[in-house]
Each structure stands twice: as structure tokens, then as C-alpha cells.
Amino acid sequence: MDVLSDVVSAARTGRPHSGRVTRSAPFAERFAPVPSAGFHIVLQGTCWLLPSQGEPIALGPGDVAFLPRGSAHGLADDPTTPVSEPPSTLTEVHEGGGEAAAGRPPTVIMLCGAYLLDGSGPHPLLNDLPEVIHLPTRVGRHRELRAAVELLGVELEGDASPGSDTVLLTLLDLLLLYILRAWFEEQRVSGHSATGWAAALHDPAVAAALRAIHANPGRPWTVAELGARARLSRAAFARRFTQLVGQPPLTYLTWWRMTTAARLLRTSDVPVNTIAQQVGYSSQYTFTHAFKRQYGLPPGGYRHHAGSRWHPGPADQADTRTGRVEV
């Protein structure tokens, strides 16, 4: 089981939004915080990303800016340009304003978009990420990410071709995984991953235990069994796992069971007692108690609430291709 793919699948709650965006100087706009992960990728030209905290970040051709928690931010041709009101949103890239830019050369052409994520119980791997991930283009680095960006740019460049919607969704899924993979690799190479999930995913012992948990969360794992998978003694494994993941092994196992159950409740009509058995509970009462402790609602109530919150609306059902925006 690929832990990173599993985490992303559990967090996703809807279709991603994306679009090819053109901006002409002077421009400056705000993006309101949203329960999603946003991205900006520069195809041509330059601009500045203005995080809610910290210094402006210069973006050049090929640069990727990823906001894991959809925090408020801005984009501008220059940090001193006055910011427009009201704020925009990355959960949908709107088409319009094509004629307004006539006669003005583009300052920057970007791919912009957002991934809808479940904010009720974010995975600690995602919480471990900074507010903004900046991946500057570098020759020979992250070739898979660069290839996905190029393909996505080509797909959004012209009119929709047969199969375009499926191609775009697949490329956006790849883009998210490649961004996260690149970030964790950057952390490892830079030596900043002594602790945390960047280190956990690259640690052979802890990664083996995580793969076992994610492959079969319903199994009645013990610390000794997981330690055997990691080829460490029970005590050594427990210390190492807790240090890197931030939770003891069985605490994380329980948390992941509830996260898996929540995904099944949101995305399927499987009976609650069946879900309880799938995640390792022979008693529906015990499962309900554990689930309510993590989510504040019993499974049935959570399913009803999730259905009202995440039922696909017009934006989710619309074509992923949202066109160009020229200002």
C-alpha cells in the first residue's frame, strides 16, 4: 500500500478545479481562505505570491506554489501594487474579461486551481506541511512534476478534445502527488527531515509499519507485530514510530481506522455495521463510541451531515476545464 496515495485519497472530497489564467500588469488580487489546497504554476512570465504571513515570494517560469491548507494569499505583478477587492477564490476559476486585456501584453500565464479536501480530520501528514510550498524550477530536478505541468498546460491550451475531462482529472491527481513527492524529497535532500512525515516516509522501518497499517487497517495489530514488520524490537520500534509520526503506533492505527470509516461513510452506502467490521471492530457499539470521540458525531449523523455538505453541486459537476481568464 502506498501511504501517500492513501492519504490523498482519504482527504479528497470532490473534483479539483483548474484553469489557464492570464494576467497583465498592473494587477494584484486577493484569494480568500478556502477548505481546499490551492496551487499556482507559472508557465510564462513572472509574478509575486503574497502569503498571509511572511515575505513575498517571486515566481518565475516553471515555478510551483502550493498552499496545502488553502490559506489566504495574493498574487501581483509587484508586491507594491494595490490589491483588488473583493477577494477571488481558487475553488473555481471563472471565465470572463477576455476583451479587457486587448493591446496589453501578458505579464504572466499560469495554471491555477484547487483540490477540495476534508477539513474535519486532516491527516497529520498534511498538517505537517508549511503554509506555502515553493518549488522553483531546477534543471534535472523533479522531472515527473515538470512533465505533468507541461501536459496539463497543453491540455488546457486549446479547445476540449475527446476524453479531455478524464485526462484533466488524471493529470490533476498526478500533479498533487508529484508536488507532495517533490516536497518530501526536497526535505530529505536538504537534511530538514530529521523528524516528521518527511522522515517517516523515507525511514525503512517506520514506512514498513505504515504500509502494513494502511494495507489492512482492520487487522488487530499489536506493537510487537508492527515492530516485526519494521525489523525492530517492540520498544525500539515504538520509540522510533512515535518520534517520527508524532503518535504511538496503536494511536495512529485507531486514528486511521476512523479516517477510513469516515471516507466510506461519505462516499458509499455501505451499512455502518459492515464498515465497523472492515476497520476492525466486531461491536458496532464500540465502533460508534470510537468514531464519535474523533468526529463529534455518531456514524449515522456524520453520514447525513457529510451528504449535505459534500453533495456535488453545479461547480463539482461542471467540466473541469474552466477556460482562460484574461485581465
- Residues 182-222: pLDDT tens digits? 998 888 777 766 668 888 988 999 999 999 999 999 999 99
Q: What angle do CA 299, 257, 276 make, to 5 degrees?
A: 50
pLDDT of amino acid 103: 61
Residue by residue, DSSP assigns 227-259 as HHHHTS-HHHHHHHHHHHHSS-HHHHHHHHHHH
- Give the range with max mean pLDDT: 132-141, 177-186, 252-261: 252-261
> How buried is residue 264: exposed, middle or buried, by Cβ count under 10 Å (0-12/13-18/19+)?
middle
Burial 140-149 (b: 16+ CB within 10 A, else e): eebeebbebb
Range of weakest confidence among 18-27, 135-144, 215-224, 318-327: 318-327
Amino acid identity at 272: V
How many angstroms from the chain centroid is the CA of residue 51? 18
**Cis ω for the linkage preceding 298 (within 30 of 0):** no
How many angstroms from the chain centroid is the CA of residue 1? 18
How many CA atoms within 13 Å lie on the side-chain side of 39?
27
**Cis ω for the linkage preceding 87 (within 30 of 0):** no
Query: Domains, the chain, ranges and CATH?
Result: 3-194 (2.60.120.280), 204-310 (1.10.10.60)
Whole-number Å distance between alpha carbons of 282 and 286: 8
Angstrom CA distances, 288 to 25, 88, 256, 268, 305, stand at 56, 40, 15, 17, 16
Angstrom CA distances, 162 to 159, 314, 322, stand at 10, 22, 16
- Residues 28-56: pLDDT tens digits? 999 988 878 899 999 999 999 999 889 99
Angstrom CA distances, 169 to 14, 16, 152, 155, 193, stand at 11, 7, 10, 11, 31
Joined grid coordinates for residue 29: 488580487
- The whole-model pTM stands at 0.81
- Residues 226-248: pLDDT tens digits? 999 999 999 999 999 999 999 99
Amino acid identity at 172: L
**Cis ω for the linkage preceding 82 (within 30 of 0):** no
Q: Are 275 and 265 in contact (CB under 8 A)?
A: yes
Whole-number Å distance between alpha carbons of 75 and 89: 12
Whole-number Å distance between alpha carbons of 48 and 45: 11
Q: Band of the pLDDT at 316, cuts 50, 70, 90?
A: very low
Instruction: Return the percentage of the chain with pLDDT > 90, whole number.
Output: 49
- Asked whether residue 318 carries a pLDDT value surpassing 60, the answer given is no
